[in-house]
């Protein structure tokens, strides 16, 4: 069976849980920006958690189903319509052959995840079906879906209509969004005043935010500790001798606008990093719209590991709904 | 006289001109046809044209140039 794309939305890509293991070669992990939402959508329709679904940012696609199917939409709040009739989110929905799935205006959040029982059955590329558009790798022909594409869907395994995930288990960013940050190796490069300001200030998401990185503005510029720039580093105080960039690392070119590297990150470069967003909060970033007020919250390693354990416990509770 | 709203399909920054030195796409009081571009929304490093979607006369903008907008927010109204 195939799903026909009547309208792709703004940028809708096939994503699974990504392709770990190639970042040292410059190929990022990719995959769903909000992995918990994709896992949840898959569980609802009876798929493996890591099956490929569709990630649509800000604008939902319009899709025609050529056969009966079971689907679920999770993530951002965006009215879901089947042949124009509104349907619940985070719930297994029966779609009949010929029906059209469409969406209203985005309300809160940034990205929806559409899981179809059987999963999107595009070929594996380096072990994943995720689309890395800049590298023309994976997904549907290495790119975002386009009008008239026919997306192949695998054989469904036994999901049931009407199953859903309770409201309390749907994780969303708060307002303002709070992202926990572990200060990093270059923390000594900025002044004590900046150590305080960075966490005291309210930032907001800049319109440049995308799958590679989320940019923020609105906080006070960072002040650097004076030094003679070492051999190999650029002349700006925010430059370092080239280094690896972790996922979630926060670089601040010129000391003005922090950029959090996300799933489609570049793997290294010459900007200092103030710290790293804890892995447990990376999903939340994927649900931030432009202009969302955001605070960075300082944690130590124990705090980061606690956040990771809490998120794992939440996932276990979601799994237990379908056990 | 019925009024219709033109809504932003996207969250981002709304601009009423194709470039900083250009004239606005439309001025208050101008007539519009459905295919006319009334502004652009900048998000994710690209600009997306917003079309009127309806024929009408006397467009009136509800947001300023370079305002932050939400998806579904009314950008302008027109007398149909």
Does residue B9 belong to the interface with chain A, where contact is any CB pair within 8 Å? yes
Could you tell me the pLDDT band of residue A323, with boundaries at 50, 70 and 90? confident
ipTM of the complex: 0.83
A191-214, pLDDT tens digit by residue?
A: 999 999 999 999 999 988 999 999
d(CA A58, CA A11): 8
Is B12 an interface residue toward A (CB < 8 Å)? yes
For residue B1, what pLDDT is reported?
60
Q: What is the arithmetic mean of pLDDT over A249-266? A: 97
The answer, for B2 touching chain A at a CB cutoff of 8 Å, is no
Give me the domain span that covers residue B25: 3-79
Closest residue, chain B, to A208 (C-alpha): B44
All domains of chain A, ordered by start, with CATH? 2-168 (no CATH), 177-314 (2.40.100.10)
**Range with the poorest average pLDDT among A113-122, A180-189, B2-11:** B2-11
Measure CB to CB from residue A105 to each of B42, B45, B71 and give the nearest one: B71
CA distance B46 to chain A (A): 8
The domain that holds B8 is classified in CATH as 2.40.50.100
Chain A residue with minimum CA distance to B49: A10
Average pLDDT over residues A267-293: 97
pLDDT in tens, A86-117: 999 999 999 999 999 999 999 999 999 999 99
Instruction: Reduce the secondary structure of A115-157 to three states and give it as a string.
Output: EECCCECCCCECCECCCEHHHCECCECCECCCCCCEEEECCCC
Phi-psi region of A109 (alpha: psi -120 to 50; beta: other; left: phi over 0): left
Percent with pLDDT over 70 in chain A: 100
- Candidates B7, B9, B12; nearest CB to A290: B12
How many domains does chain B fold into?
A: 1
Contacts of A59 in chain B (CB under 8 A): 9-10, 71
The verdict on a CB contact (< 8 Å) between A207 and B71 is no
Task: Please answer yes or no on whether A290 and B11 come within 8 Å at the CB atom.
Answer: yes
> Is pLDDT above 80 for A158?
no
């Amino acid at each position: 069976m195939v799903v026909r794309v009547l309208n792709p939305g703004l940028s809708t890509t096939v994503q699974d849980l990504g392709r770990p293991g190639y970042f040292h070669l410059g190929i990022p992990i990719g995959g769903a920006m909000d992995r918990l939402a994709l896992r949840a959508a898959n569980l609802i329709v009876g798929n493996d958690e890591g099956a490929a679904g569709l990630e649509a940012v800000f604008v939902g696609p319009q899709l025609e189903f050529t056969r009966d199917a079971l689907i679920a939409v999770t993530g951002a709040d965006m009215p879901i319509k089947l042949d124009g009739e509104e349907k619940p989110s985070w719930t297994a929905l029966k779609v009949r052959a010929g029906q059209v799935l469409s969406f209203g205006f985005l309300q809160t959040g940034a990205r929806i995840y559409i899981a179809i029982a059987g999963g999107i059955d595009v070929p594996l590329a380096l072990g994943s079906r995720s689309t890395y558009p800049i590298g023309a790798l994976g997904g549907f022909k290495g790119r975002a879906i386009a009008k008239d594409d026919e997306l192949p869907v695998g054989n469904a395994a036994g999901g049931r209509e009407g199953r859903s995930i309770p409201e309390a288990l749907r994780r969303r960013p708060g307002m303002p969004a709070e992202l926990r940050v572990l200060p990093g190796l270059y923390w000594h490069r900025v002044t004590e005043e900046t150590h305080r300001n960075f966490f005291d200030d309210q930032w907001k998401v800049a319109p440049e935010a995308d799958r590679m990185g989320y940019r923020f503005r609105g906080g006070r510029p960072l002040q650097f500790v004076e030094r003679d720039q070492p051999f190999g580093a650029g002349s700006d105080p925010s430059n370092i001798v080239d280094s690896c960039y972790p996922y979630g690392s926060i670089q601040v070119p010129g000391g003005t606008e922090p950029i959090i590297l996300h799933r489609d990150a570049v793997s290294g470069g010459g900007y200092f990093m103030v710290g790293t967003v804890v892995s447990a909060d990376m999903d939340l970033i994927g649900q931030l719209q432009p202009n969302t007020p955001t605070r960075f919250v300082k944690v130590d390693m124990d705090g980061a590991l606690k956040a990771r354990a809490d998120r794992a416990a939440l996932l276990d509770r979601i799994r237990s709904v379908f056990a | 006289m019925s009024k219709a709203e033109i809504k932003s399909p996207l969250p981002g920054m709304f601009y009423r001109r194709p470039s900083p030195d250009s004239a606005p796409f439309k001025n208050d009081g101008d007539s519009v046809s459905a295919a006319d571009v009334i502004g652009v929304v900048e998000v994710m490093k690209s600009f997306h044209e917003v079309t009127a979607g309806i024929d009408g006369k006397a467009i009136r903008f509800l947001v300023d140039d370079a305002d932050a907008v939400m998806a579904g927010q009314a950008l302008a109204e027109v007398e149909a």
